[in-house]
Each structure stands twice: as structure tokens, then as C-alpha cells.
Amino acid sequence: MTRLYLDHNATTFMRPEAKAAMIDAMDVHGNPSAQHADGRAANGIISTAREAVGLAMGVCAQDIVFTGGGTEADNTAVFSAWTAGCRKMLFSAADHPATYRAAEQWGCPHEFIPVDRDGVTDIAWLKSRLENWVEADGRPFVSIAAANSETGVVQPVEAVADMVSDAGGLLLVDAVQALGKLPMTYIADYISVSAHKIGGPKGVGALYMSPDAPAQSLLCGGGQERRKRAGTMNVAGIAGFGAAASALGDISAVKELRDQLEAGLKELEPQLTIFGEDVERLPNTSFFAVPDAGSMTLMMQLDLEGISVSTGTACSSGKVGESRTLKAMGVLDKAPKGAIRTSLSHHTTSSDVDRFLASWAKIRRKERKAA
């Protein structure tokens, strides 16, 4: 059976350009920090990739620090702000755990910015909170994901950026899900991205740090990445990241497939809830629930049908429990037994959607007969 993969928000297929770039880089033997010709050759590969990633992010390439993934990039931003004197941090309730759990790890006092029932960050709450900021809490630090990894709901980053700037604070935009799916026009002190979400290799990420943003390496060691990230650099992985960034194209057409999938589900499921349906979402993402079926059971049954989906963000896979995102939205009553996320890509076809719907209908017929 040919498997159908509909979990591209967790990780997507590696692009052939990225594979080729990595193979070529593996034949360059120098350490990129060495000054001899072999070292300069390896460093040249990194420089080319840095330019490509910077262009895709819409930022100055020289301000990009390569990391071991989006999680490390987020952690680095939080750690940099904490060590620079930010004594109170604000995280959107729709943030990825890589941001707020870093604050918890280091004992940083923090609060969560509420979201509404559509999953959109409450900017009125944020405005009031920043206007009443206490000087003893140091410089404000605000973190917001450009798009939620579960619902795909796009967040009001521009409005948040203006508020944080007016308050003299620092802003982290987690753009891991946005890169390659949304225009990258963010103005922030820190912007995090990850290679494997766009067809690059797993285990490589990048953090944009504005020239005047505090910077503190998480790792103790050498002076790589202008002393902002110690450790010998992953030349092949970075090469693959750069090639994937260069190969990015317009995926807006995938929205038609997402809409086809949701329309088909609505015909099959009168009690279907699609979370964030009434606001802007990533064009490839659908997070939905039916009140009478458990998400883990549905996911496993789809897996047996040869279809890969998820029950939410990949960092929580293997765990059975409520969605933190849906809890923050106040809509757990709409998903008493969990929710399913499908995330498509430019590889997805209309036939793939039809296959998913046919398998879903088959699974649900069996469930109803057994009830």
C-alpha cells in the first residue's frame, strides 16, 4: 500500500535540491572555522546557505545564527532576554512549548497572553499589560508564534510588534510554521525558523537576531557564529537548509485542497467542528473534531489505512491528553475526545483528499455499526 502522508506541519518531505546539496557538502572535508583552503571551502557553503535562508526570512543574512533546530532557536532567544535583565516574560497562549518551557526551565517569571475562541492572541489584553508594565520587571519580553502549529491560525504579529516597540520591549516571533507558507515581513528582535518544515533536513534551524538585540549563547565553547552559538557547525545540514530555502515556491493553491477536505468532512459529519475556521489560517492546515470519536483511535485507524495524520503538535505525540491550544481557546467542549490535524503540502493532490475522505467514511461506518 502506498502511504498517504498528511502530517507536513510535523515535518515534510526533503526536497531533492536539499539532498543533493548535503551530499555535495559531505565531500568538503574542512572545518568551517579553519583558515586553510579546506576550511574556507566549508565556510563558503555556510555563507551561501546563510544568504538563501536570510532571503527566505526577509532579513539580513549576517544577522542569522544557525542552530540545531527551531527549539534551540526559541530557547536561545528566551535565554538571551533573560540574561539581559528581562524579569517578566509574556507568551501567547498559542505559542509552541519551545518558548514558554524554556522560561520555566530557567525560572523566568512569565504570564500567558490570552487567545479568543478562534485562537487569535488578545492584543487588547497585551496593550493594557504593556501600558501598566512595572519597571522592576525590567525590559518587556513578548513571544508570539506567527501561526499556531495545531490550528494553523495566523496571529496578529504586526500589531503585536508595534505594541512591543512602543513599550521598548523585545519581541520573539516563532516563524517555524510560517516559513514557506506566509509572507515573511516580520519586524522583530528575534525570529526562529526550522529546516525540516520546508523540505530541509531535521536537526537544523536558524535564529535571526537584530543587531541591537541581546545575544547569549546557550552553549559554552568556541567562538563560532560570531560567539552567538558555540560548536562546530553542521555544514551538510546547513547546506540542505539553504537549498530548501532557495527552492521555496507558492503553495497558496493547497488551500483549495484543504477546503475540499473540509467540505467533504462536513458532508460526512454533521457535528464536525473545525477550529479557527472563521479566521485566517495557514493554507495547508485543518484541525477538527467530532464529539463521539477519540482522536487517538481515529489516528491509529487511519494509520492502518495507510494515512498519516496527527492529534496535534508533534512535540506531544505519544501523549494522550487535552490540547493545550484548545484549552486556551476555551473550546475543549467541542473536542471531548481530542482532535485530528491534517496538514497538506505541494505534494498533496485532489486524489489524495478523496482517498482520505473515503477512508474516513469507512472507519466511521465501522464505528457506528459496532456501537
User: Which is the catalytic residue, given 60, 108, 220, 315?
Assistant: 315
**How many CB atoms within 10 Å of residue 29?**
10
- CA 364 from chain centre, in angstroms, equals 31
Choose among 358, 361, 340: nearest CA to 9: 340
Enumerate residues 6+ apart whose C-beta is below 8 A from 351: none
Residue 60 known to be catalytic: no
Rg (CA), the chain: 21
Distances (CA, A) of 122 to 116, 137, 184, 235: 7, 21, 22, 41
Residue 107, C-alpha cell as written in the block: 525560572
- The answer to whether the beta carbons of residues 129 and 141 sit under 8 Å apart is no
Query: What is the Cα–Cα distance from 238 to 248, expressed in whole angstroms?
Result: 16
Catalytic residue list? 315
